[in-house]
């Protein structure tokens, strides 16, 4: 929870952790692809995403594609050995009730204490920046089922002049602006949701 994050001695302006945050909207299907490079065969890690489950074998078409496999069992955590790859297909971010909030994902116990954890941030309206260059900022907006798609996104740089972008029917948006590499830019909608990226 945010209260736990604020207890730490280091806190950025939004009190977000420095570990990875994965953004999505409530009810959206999510695919998390992870390769575990740590641990040992004697002390494997155990990966879990609080409040979510996934299929152990999400394979269809004779194992050639990822998808819903009616023969697979569901897992809420999975033991992983070094260099194992995991494809966690979540059928609904926020669980079956599509509950917005921050969900902890982690390599359980000792690995989590060493920084192997992050947040799955489930929002009613989720804004993502997929490109932040010195001349253009682009991204997408996802919304919880039943929520109206925002019509525009406002991009605000840490310094300088921002831009406004129209959100198209698929949720994509882009706008032109002049920024310096290393500058932070934040995309927001009037209805909620925000995302900050560094200009590259």
Predicted confidence band at 161 (pLDDT cuts at 50, 70, 90)? confident
Structure tokens at 24: 């999505």
* Number of continuous H segments (helices) and E segments (strands) in the chain: 2, 18
pLDDT per residue over 92-149, tens digit each? 999 999 999 999 999 876 667 777 899 999 999 999 999 999 999 999 999 998 899 9
Residues ≥6 apart with Cβ < 8 Å to 90: 29, 30, 31, 32, 49, 52, 53, 54
Q: Which pTM was predicted?
A: 0.77
Q: Is the Cβ–Cβ distance between 22 and 121 less than 8 Å?
A: yes
The answer to whether 36 touches 75, Cβ cutoff 8 Å, is no
- pLDDT band at residue 44 under the 50/70/90 scheme: confident
Exposed/middle/buried for residue 177 (C-beta within 10 Å: 0-12, 13-18, 19+): buried
């Amino acid at each position: 929870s945010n209260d736990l994050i604020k207890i730490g001695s280091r806190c950025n302006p939004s009190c977000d952790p420095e570990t990875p945050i994965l953004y999505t909207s409530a009810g959206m299907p999510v695919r998390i692809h992870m390769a575990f490079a740590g641990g040992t065969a004697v002390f494997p890690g155990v990966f879990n995403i609080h409040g979510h489950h996934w299929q152990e074998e999400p394979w269809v078409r004779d194992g050639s594609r990822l998808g819903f496999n009616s023969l697979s069992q569901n897992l809420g955590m999975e033991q992983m050995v070094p260099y194992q790859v995991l494809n966690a297909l979540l059928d609904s971010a926020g669980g079956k009730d599509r509950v917005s909030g921050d969900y902890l994902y982690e390599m359980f116990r000792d690995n989590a204490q060493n920084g192997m954890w992050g947040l799955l941030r489930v929002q009613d309206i989720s804004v993502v920046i997929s490109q932040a260059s010195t001349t253009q900022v682009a991204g997408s907006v996802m919304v919880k089922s039943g929520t109206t798609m925002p019509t525009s996104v406002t991009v605000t740089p840490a310094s300088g002049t921002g831009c406004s972008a129209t959100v198209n029917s698929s949720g994509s948006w882009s706008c032109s602006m002049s920024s310096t590499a290393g500058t932070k830019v934040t995309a927001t909608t009037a209805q909620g949701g925000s995302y900050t990226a560094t200009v590259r």
